[in-house]
Structure 1
């Protein structure tokens, strides 16, 4: 069962599948706490998820144990939010493939975000369900007005799951 109650009729099926698991890793969480990944981690935690930060340069972030890689997370995870530099996203996808993680979400609000052509190709090759664009802040209630507007605009131009 989901750790939060979501109105599934308004949520795209791939977003529902990503959020269906209780344990979600967030790759790219900053030690400064000012990145999209840090905001996503906080929202997932507040929404009842066991959100796990991944950063090879930190041992704890946002009061949570932080791990240098997905492989280092005890017990594994259901899904991975990729909010890293696009140059790193391929290695995260490859690690997901090795660990059997089948759900990834590439963060993007404006520009390319965390998306790389190579990482998307790897998702396709490994059978990983990839969400391209947007982030959970656009779907986990309560959604703030800024993320509602970005979701509305992004869904209309194809940059956010609809």
Structure 2
């Protein structure tokens, strides 16, 4: 069952290290602006993009499996047909607590596998929108 309650979302948004799969170095793209917002709100953003050397002055990793830092949340900006492969990478790690699929991204089978592995799954929601909504002054 995907995460839906505001209380759960608040708790998950309290986890501060976010690997952003598909993080873009192109200003104006959601995959750039949303992680940028997160960095501006004290999140540690780890870019995962095989086509970029760095994003926001941070080294961009080619894949989740290459990320050396501990990861709390994996925020996905990739097509739905790539979610199954990402879930495989996520479940191979022992540190990931949340799989966050941005607006329009879903794969019910892969989501179920992540949940079975004990990972919280947020589907079809934007981290920036939810952060603003739940942490507005």
TM-score by length of 2: 0.82
Does residue 103 in structure 1 map to residue 98 in structure 2?
A: yes
Asked if residue 133 in structure 1 is aligned to residue 124 in structure 2, the reply is: yes
Structure having greater relative contact order (Cα 8 Å, sep ≥ 6): 2
Deviation at 1:26, TM superposition (A): 0.8
Q: CA deviation at 1:19?
A: 1.9
TM-score, normalised to structure 1's length?
0.70
Unpaired stretches in structure 2, ≥5 consecutive residues = none
Aligned to 2:106: 115
In structure 1, the gaps of 5 or more residues are: 1-10, 149-162
1:81: Cα distance to partner? 0.7
Aligned to 2:55: 61
Count of aligned positions: 129
Alignment partner of 1:53: what SS? Answer: strand
8 A Cα contact 1:53 1:61, kept in partner: yes
Distance 2:87 2:9 in 1: 18
From 67, 76, 87, the equivalent of 2:70 is 76
Q: Does 1:52 align with 2:43?
A: no
